[in-house]
Each structure stands twice: as structure tokens, then as C-alpha cells.
């Protein structure tokens, strides 16, 4: 479980088949074999590390559902270690399980992201959404996505300040909304055809 508060801006060292090597320092302070580290919002398992790098094996499922297959050496990545029970929860509960890959429509500071309509029902004004592992507050929900306002600090210390129109971004919607829908599913009327969001 993560908070969506990026700890470090690392970089891609190499991608050789399923093996991803990343350059980092801060997230390696207490690293152990099998530890989890979120990379652009995707939870990966540490399988090897050195003084300024670590590696993870990326499954075909992860490549298929995230933007990690398109990273190149030198690309910056957002890194975060899992939350500890004594930590402050500065963002929101983030699983590190990417729901879909969205597309940047407009860059920061008023970041606009396009996403698949089947997930828009989980995005609400002033609700939380994770973009490349960054916990953000939704400003507006649109027919084809949403907008968020990035403060200069967030744009500077994450990859989001470097994103341009057309760039892919990993998206994770709020898991609490998915659980609520599942629990109430038997009590709610079916969605009308073409209905993008729940009332």
C-alpha cells in the first residue's frame, strides 16, 4: 500500500526483456530482497540492487496494463516505498495496481488526462486519482477524462511536470469507490447504455 506521495525522481537505467533496472538512492535506504517499490504508480518487487540502482522483473500482465513497456534509458520515473503503519498518510490509499493507461491532453499546471470511459464512474470532483503514482485531487470530470491542478512543487519533483500531450500515464482510480460499487451492486439499478459516470 502506498500514499501517492513521490519520494524520489529516479531514472531508467535499462530494460532488458522483463528485467527493468532503475537508478535511485533514497528508496534504497532500507531495501531488502522482495521489497515493493512503486514505479510511476506500478508496484514492483526488488530482485537485485546496488548502491545506486535496483532491478525488478516485469510480467507480461504488467507490461500490458501499464506504460512501463515504453520506458527508455534515461527516462525519469516516480518512485515510492510502501507506507509504514507509523507514517502520515499525506495522499490517499494507493495500491500500486494500475487500472489503465491514460493519455495527457494538456500539460501542467492544468493537467488534463484522457482515460477509458468504463473507469470514469470512479472519478469524482474533489476525489482522489493516481497519475503515474502521484496522488492528485480531481478538479473537473470530463466526458473523456479529468483535470487536476499541479502546484509547482509537484511538477518539479515528479514526472508530471515533464509530460506533454500524447504521453502515456499510468492511472489508478480510488479503490474505495470500486469496493463501494461492488458492495452496493445488488442494490443499484443497472447503468443506462452510454452512461459514463454514476450519479
Query: Where a domain ends, among 48, 80, 112?
Result: 80
Domain check: are 68 and 110 in the same one?
A: no
Would you say residue 197 lies in a domain? no
Domain check: are 53 and 106 in the same one?
A: no
Domain check: are 110 and 180 in the same one?
A: yes
pLDDT at 181: 86
Structural domain count of the chain: 2
Domain check: are 121 and 177 in the same one?
A: yes
Q: Are 94 and 101 in contact (CB under 8 A)?
A: no
Q: Residue 66: give its domain's CATH number.
A: 2.40.30.20
Supply 32's cell numbers: 531488502
Instruction: State the residue range of the domain holding 43.
Output: 8-80
Which tops the pLDDT comparison, 91 or 192? 91
- List pLDDT tens digits, range 124-174: 999 999 999 999 999 999 999 999 999 999 999 999 999 999 999 999 999
pLDDT at 198: 39
How would residue 194 be classed by pLDDT, with cut points 50, 70 and 90? low
Domain check: are 145 and 109 in the same one?
A: yes
Question: What string of DSSP letters covers the chain?
Answer: -B-S---EEEEEEEEETTEEEEE-SGGGTT--TT-EEEETTEEEE--EE-SSEEEEE--HHHHHHSSGGG--TT-EEEEEPPPPTTS---S--B-S---EEEEEEE-TTEEEEE--GGGGGG--TT-EEEETTEEEEEEEE-SSEEEEEPPHHHHHHSGGGG--TT-EEEEEE-HHHHHHHHHHGGGSPPPPTT--S--
Which region among 114-118, 182-186, 193-197 has the lowest average model confidence (pLDDT)?
193-197
Query: Mean per-residue pLDDT for 57-77?
Result: 96
Would you say residue 73 lies in a domain? yes
Query: Mean per-residue pLDDT for 114-123?
Result: 95
- pLDDT for residue 74 is more than 90: yes
Q: How far apart are CA 50 and CA 16, in angstroms?
A: 17
Q: Are 123 and 117 in contact (CB under 8 A)?
A: no
Q: Percent of the chain, pLDDT > 90?
A: 81
Query: Where a domain ends, among 26, 46, 80?
Result: 80
Would you say residue 88 lies in a domain? no
- List pLDDT tens digits, range 10-53: 999 999 999 999 999 999 999 999 999 999 999 999 999 999 99
Amino acid at each position: 500500500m502506498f500514499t501517492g506521495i513521490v519520494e524520489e525522481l529516479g531514472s531508467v537505467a535499462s530494460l532488458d526483456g522483463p528485467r527493468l533496472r532503475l537508478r535511485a538512492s533514497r528508496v534504497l535506504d532500507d531495501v531488502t530482497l522482495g521489497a515493493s517499490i512503486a514505479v510511476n504508480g506500478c508496484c514492483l518487487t526488488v530482485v537485485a540492487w546496488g548502491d545506486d540502482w535496483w532491478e525488478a522483473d516485469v510480467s507480461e500482465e504488467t507490461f500490458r496494463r501499464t506504460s512501463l513497456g515504453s520506458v527508455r534509458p534515461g527516462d525519469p520515473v516516480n518512485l515510492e516505498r510502501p507506507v509504514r503503519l507509523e507514517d502520515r498518510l499525506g495522499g490517499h490509499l494507493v495500491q500500486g495496481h494500475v487500472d489503465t493507461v491514460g493519455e495527457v491532453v494538456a500539460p501542467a499546471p492544468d493537467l488534463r488526462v484522457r482515460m477509458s470511459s468504463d473507469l470514469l464512474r470512479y472519478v469524482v470532483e474533489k476525489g482522489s486519482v493516481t497519475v503515474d503514482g502521484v496522488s492528485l485531487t480531481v478538479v473537473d470530470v470530463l466526458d473523456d477524462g479529468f483535470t487536476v491542478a499541479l502546484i509547482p512543487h509537484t511538477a518539479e519533483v515528479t514526472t508530471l511536470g515533464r509530460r506533454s500531450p500524447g504521453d502515456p500515464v499510468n492511472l489508478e482510480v480510488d479503490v474505495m469507490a470500486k469496493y463501494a460499487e461492488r458492495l452496493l451492486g445488488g442494490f443499484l439499478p443497472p447503468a443506462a447504455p452510454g452512461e459514463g459516470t454514476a450519479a
